[in-house]
Amino acid sequence: MASRPPAPALIGPAMSTMTTTERAALFAHTSARWAIVVAATLIGYWSTWQALVEEVARGTSGGYVALVPPFAVLAAEGVTRRRHGELPIHDRQTDRIVGGAVLLIAIAVKWLLLPRYGPNYQMMHLDVLSAWLFVIGMCVLLFGLRVASRYWPVWLLLLGTSPLAYRAMLVQLGGSKFAAGFLMVLLGSLAIAVAVGRTRRRALIGFCVTLLLGLALLVAVTTRYPDARVAVAQIVPSAVAALVVGAAFYLYRYRGLAPRTLPPNPVSPREAARTLLLIVPATVVLAAAPLPDQQLTPVSVGPPPSGSVSQVVPAGWYQLESIDYDWPRRYFGSTAQLRRQMIRAVEPRADWDRLSRPRTVAVQTLQVRRVGVFEVYPVHTTYDLGQARVSPKIRVDLGRGVQADFFTVVDDELLLTWSLMSFIWTRGDALAQRVSLLTVDNHELDAPFPQPTPNMASNASALLSVFLRGGASVEDSDPEYKDLNLLTELGRDLVEAQWRGI
């Protein structure tokens, strides 16, 4: 009777029989694979990382992305130290199929999906989500599906921190600098919980201690440095808390013990090297993908600050009322102010209305401290456009070096068509304004105007429509620019009035 083949050895016993040379070789092979992952991610998404650095320099909240990889590494280190009892078996065909499929998804997101959301690029940053998918696909190819699947909490941590999800949570928490820092402290606490979670009790203790320490540091930073950039509140408290708590747990658990050998990888170095035939071409294809056209409104240099959010009403117009809104603080920061001035022409003009009715225009001024936030939330995101179609933009020169964008909106829900002209300028070194002029096709004196009330649910519906049917589903392909002349003339008079201080 033939003897049965021995069962595969578990990883734990195999590690104890390793020689020093074998340990060094294992460390070198593992380090080489991670070097490939890091290099390919940097090269394939170089334009993305450059864009994020520029955004952070302009004062946006995208700086949190810099902490996501370190937190993921911290969590992965904890998972690695808990790996034991694994059978050194694998199916390379399955590894290639799954890993290759994930790489294709990453490429599709950057090449096909990203261009559809050009105007919402900074708000969504789908290329960051594509980068995390690319990392997961490479890990499956280089380390094997069985090994990569052991790190599922780390992958959830990466995918769950996409910029769109982060910004949605930030808005719900109030959009303040403290809220941005709190989200990062929460993320660091989750990473520590995964890293030290040998038991549920240890995970809970690690999470709570990191959260409390991070909140204490966050309060100290925001109180001591109230004018610091939002990136400081995001990075400093969460990073320090995670490092301190993680180091404390590590020293307590492994004090007096020799460094633990990395668990063996079932994928041999030769098999891992063959996956470069997939990784290298994918990296080249990703690096060749351009960033989408964001259709950003140019930033102009405006007059010195006037001490008020309101715009000076130009000659030939008079103000009916002024309305202030408080919701912009959740999107644009705690110092953001939004004021709508309803103005009406003193004399009616036949070229503006066939019945010679005086036209009414809403002048909206959104004032912030850092001009970069206007790129994250373009003007169309400040309205409920869930059932609307938007025309292509037209660039208009308003004089004094000010360039404005003009477009129309057909709102099928309100049965209303309205026109909007918007420009952005700086008012000194510490203020920036986005000024929008809005008219409706109903010229009655009591005609309703669309309210600047962003709706995350309706905007998500519009984004889903773009995903399923393309940009044409939310675009007005046959627009009528009825009030272009009216808003152009008013815009030029308004710009000149601010400079003259009339």
- pTM for this model (two decimals): 0.87
Q: How far apart are CA 132 and CA 280, in angstroms?
A: 17
- For residues 477 and 474, give the distance between their C-alpha atoms in angstroms, rounded to a whole number: 9
C-beta separation of 210 from 245 below 8 A: yes
- The values of phi and psi at residue 251, to 5°, are -65, -35
The stretch 35-48 carries a mean pLDDT of 96
Other beta carbons within 10 Å of 366: 27
Give the integer Cα–Cα distance in Å for 347 and 282.
63
From 19-28, 47-56, 168-177, 352-361, the region with the lowest mean pLDDT: 19-28
Statement: residue 126 has pLDDT above 50 = yes
**pLDDT (average), residues 85-90:** 66
Which DSSP string do the residues of 293-349 spell out, in sequence order? ---PPPEEE-PPP-SSSSPPPPTTEEEEEEEEE-THHHHH-TT-EEEEEEEEESS--
Using pLDDT thresholds of 50, 70 and 90, give the confidence band for residue 116: confident
pLDDT at 89: 66
Give the mean model confidence (pLDDT) for residues 10-19: 52
pLDDT of residue 467: 64
Distance between CA atoms of 248 and 489, rounded to whole angstroms?
Answer: 66
* pLDDT tens digits, one per residue of 188-236: 999 999 999 888 999 999 999 999 999 999 999 999 998 888 889 999 9
Residue tagged 């997961």 (tokens): 136
At residue 48, φ and ψ (nearest 5 deg) are -65, -45
The pLDDT of 318-344, averaged and rounded, is 93
Instruction: Note the pLDDT of residue 5.
Output: 43
Residues 376, 333: Cα–Cα separation, whole Å: 12
Supply the Cα-derived Rg of the chain in whole angstroms. Answer: 28
Tens of pLDDT, residues 147-188: 899 999 999 999 888 888 898 898 888 888 899 999 999 999
pLDDT in tens, 341-361: 999 999 999 999 999 899 999
Confidence of residue 2 (pLDDT cuts 50, 70, 90): very low
| pLDDT value, residue 468 | 60
Tell me what pLDDT residue 335 has: 87
Closest to 65 measured CA to CA, from 238, 207, 198, 212: 238
**Which segments of 45-176 does DSSP mark as H helices, in order?**
46-57, 68-81, 92-108, 121-124, 126-143, 145-149, 152-159, 163-172
Q: 315: helix, coil or strand?
A: coil
* Beta bridge mates, 423: 404, 435
- Contact between residue 386 and residue 461 where contact means Cβ atoms under 8 Å apart: yes
Average pLDDT, the chain: 87
Give the percent of the chain with pLDDT over 90.
53
pLDDT at site 474? 67
Higher pLDDT, residue 226 or 385 = 226
Confidence band (pLDDT; 50, 70, 90) for 9? very low
Distance CA 218, CA 148 (A): 34
pLDDT value of residue 259: 56
The residue ranges of every structural domain in the chain are 26-82+90-256+265-288, 299-501
Per residue in 402-412, pLDDT (tens digit) is 999 999 998 87
Cβ distance 231 to 56 under 8 Å? yes
Q: Which residues contact 37 (CB under 8 A, 6 or more apart)?
A: 135, 138, 139, 142
Give me the residue label for tokens 């408080």. Answer: 326
